[in-house]
Structure 1
Amino acid sequence: MKNYLFYVGIDISKLKLDITILDVSSLKSEHFVVENNIKSISLFVKNLSKKIDINQTLFCCENTGVYTNHLSSASMDLKLDLWIVPAVEIKRSKGISRGKTDKSDAKDIAYYSYRNIDKLKLFTLTAIDIQKLKILYTEREKMLKSLLLLETTKENKGFASKEVFKEVSSINQSLTKTIRNAIRKIETKMKEIIKANAQLNKQTQLIRTIPGIGEQTSIYLIIVTKGFTAFKNWRQFACYSGVAPFECSSGSSIKGRTKVNHMADKKIKSLLQMCAMTTLKYDPQLKEYYNKKKAEGKNSMLVLNNIRCKLISRVFAVINRETSYINTYKFAS
C-alpha cells in the first residue's frame, strides 16, 4: 500500500465538484470548485500536478451513481488512484454533526480517506459489455414497472360504462403493446451482448445449469458482481445480498435473534427469493432439505433464506471451477 502524501475529498453533484485537498504533513486543507465534466476535471488535475505529486495522492468520493461517471472516466484516463465509497459509510463515520454544505462534505470525505486507509479499495473501470448490460437491465426494470401501472387500467372495466372505458382502452392497449415490444428488444440486445462476449457467455451458461436460476437472474448476477470480480467469495456476496445472518447480542441481558440486515441490494435479494421458491419444485435435494427443516419446527422464511445462501454458494462454485453444476443427489443411495 502506498504512503500517500495528499488526500483529495470530492463531493459530487450534478453540475459541479467540491474538492478539498488535505496535506498530511501539515493537516491543512484547500478547497476548490470544478465543473462536473471530463474536460474541467482533466484541466484541474493537470494544474494540480504542478503543485503536488499526483502519484502520491489519493482521490476519494462518494458513490453518487451516474454523476460519478465523469470523475471515474477521467481517473482511468489520467491513471489516478480513485476510491469510491458508499455514501452511508462516510455519513456514519462522521459521528454527530450539525449542518451540511458541499464544502464541508468534501472535507469530511478527505478526512475519511486519510483515517480509513486500511479499507482502501481502488476503483477499476467495469468492462464495457457489463456497463451496457447494466443500463439495458435498468431500462427493462423501468418498463416493467410502467407496464404494471398500465395494467391497472383494466380494473375500470366492469365498473365504468363501456362508453367511458372505451375512451382510454385503445390508448392503453397501444401503449402496453409498445412497451412489451421494447422489453423484447432489450432482452434480445442483452442476449446479443452476452453471446458476443466469450467470458460472459460461458458464465451465463454455467449459472443456468443450477436448478431454479433463470435467465434474468443470471444476467443480474453478472452485472452486480462485475463478471464475478467484485467479490472474493460467496460469503461476501451473501452479505451484500442481505441473506447472511448476523448475531444481535450485548452483555448478558440482550440476546436478540440472529437475523439478516436490512442494508442490502434489494433487487438481487428479491430475485434470489424467487429462485429459492422455484428450486422447491425442480430440485429434489433442496426440497427434501426444506421439508426436513420444516418438520424440525423451523420458520419457513429462515429455511428459504438458507436455500438462498446455498444457491449463491453454488453459483460461485461453478464460476470458480468453470464447470457445470453437478447434481450429486441423484447418485446418493
Structure 2
Amino acid sequence: MKNYLVHLGIDISKSKLDVNLLTSQNLQSEHFVIDNNPKAISEFVKMLIKRKLDIKQILFCCENTGIYTNHLSYTLSNLELDLWIVPAIEIKRSKGISRGKNDKTDAKDIAFYSLRNIDKLNLYAKPDVDIDKLKLLHTEREKVLKALLLLETTKENELFIPKSIYSEVSKINQSTINGLKKSLKEIEKRIQEVIKKNDKLETQNKLIQTIPGIGKQTALYFIIATKGFSAFTSWRKFACYSGVAPFEYSSGSSIKGRTKVNHMADKKMKSLLQMCAMTTLKYDPQLKEYYTKKKGEGKNAMLVLNNIRCKLISRVFAVINRETPYINTYKFAS
C-alpha cells in the first residue's frame, strides 16, 4: 500500500468544494475553498504542484454526493490521481460524538477519516463511458414510467365527473401520455443501441437472460449496478449490497435477535430480484421444488424467497465468470 504524505479531505456541495489539506507526519491542516468545476479543480492541482508537493503522494478523499461528485472524479481520473470516494454514512459514523457541523469541519473530518482508515482504501476507478450512458438512460426511463403512472390516474375522473368537465383535460392528458410513451420507446431503443455497440456488455446481457426468471430490465440493472461486473469480486458481496444477505443479531447470552437482512441496500435491485424470484416459481422446476420443500418444512415464505434471490445472484455471477450460458442440469437428473 502506498504511503501517502498528504490527505486531502473534500466536502462537496453544488457550487463549491471545501478542501482540508492534512499532512500525515505532523497532522497540520490547511483549509481551501474552490469552485466545483473542472477548471477550478485543475487549477488547484497546479497550485499543489507549485508548492512542491509530490502529487502522487497525495490521497484525495470525499463523500459520495451523487452527480455533484462528477467534476472532481472525472478531473482527477484524467490527471491519474488517487481518489477515494466513501459513503457518507461511513464517515458520519466514524466521527464518534460530535456537536454541530459546517463545510469546513466536514472537510477536516473527511481528511482524518482518510488518514485513520487507510487500511480500508478502495481507490476510485472511472467507469466505462457506456456504463454511464446506460445509468443515465435507465434513470430517465424510471422517471418516464413514474410520470406515465401518475398521468394514467387522471382517467379515473371520467367515471365520477360530468363529461363536460372531464373534457377540459382529457385531450391534454392523452396527448401528454402519447408523448411520454414515444419518449419511452426512444429511451429503450437507445439503451439497446448502447449495449449492442459494446461487445462485452452485449455478451453479459445475453448471458444473464439465459437464466430462467431474469428478463432484460433486470439484466440491464445488473450491468449498471455492478459496473459491468467490475465493482464486485463475488456474488456474496453483491448479495450484501442488494440487501438479500442475512445477518446475525446477538450479544452475549441475553440478546438473541432474529437473523435478517439489513435495510441498507440497493432497493431497486432488491425489488427486481423479488419479482424474478416470484417468476422462477413458474418457469424453473428446480427452484419451484426447492420452494415447495422448504415450505413443507415450515419455513417462512419470505425467507425461502430470499434464499431464491441469493441463488439467482450466484447464477448470474457464475455465467458471467464462466462466460457460458446457463444450463439447467435439473432436467437431466434421474
- In the alignment, what sits opposite 2:130? 129
Cα distance in 2, alignment partners of residues 63 and 220 from structure 1? 20
Cα distance in 2, alignment partners of residues 161 and 298 from structure 1? 53
Aligned: 1:326 with 2:303: no
Q: SS at 1:213's partner residue?
A: coil
Give the AA of the match of 1:31.
H
- In the alignment, what sits opposite 1:239? 240
Give the AA of the match of 1:55.
K
Q: SS at 1:157's partner residue?
A: helix
- In the alignment, what sits opposite 1:45? 45
Give the AA of the match of 1:88.
I
Q: When the two structures are aligned, how many residues end up with a matched partner?
A: 333
Cα distance in 2, alignment partners of residues 169 and 98 from structure 1? 54
Q: What is the CA-CA distance between 1:197 and the residue it aligns to?
A: 0.5
Cα distance in 2, alignment partners of residues 212 and 180 from structure 1? 26
The within-5 A match list for 1:1-333 is: 1-51=1-51, 52-333=53-334
TM-score by length of 2: 0.99
Q: SS at 1:257's partner residue?
A: coil
Structure 1 vs Structure 2 CA RMSD: 0.6
Q: SS at 1:49's partner residue?
A: helix
Cα distance in 1, alignment partners of residues 49 and 217 from structure 2? 45
Cα distance in 2, alignment partners of residues 276 and 193 from structure 1? 28
Cα distance in 2, alignment partners of residues 328 and 153 from structure 1? 49
Q: What is the CA-CA distance between 1:50 and the residue it aligns to?
A: 2.1
Identity across matched positions, percent? 71
TM-score by length of 1: 0.99
Cα distance in 2, alignment partners of residues 105 and 158 from structure 1? 55
Q: What is the CA-CA distance between 1:237 and the residue it aligns to?
A: 0.1
Deviations 1:244-294 (A, max 9, x none): 000000110110000000000000000000000010110000011111111
Note the residue ranges of structure 1 that are not aligned, 5 or more in a row: none
Give the AA of the match of 2:24.
V
Give the AA of the match of 1:245.
P
Give the AA of the match of 1:9.
G
Q: What is the CA-CA distance between 1:169 and the residue it aligns to?
A: 1.0
Q: Which runs of 4+ in 1 moved over 4 A?
A: none
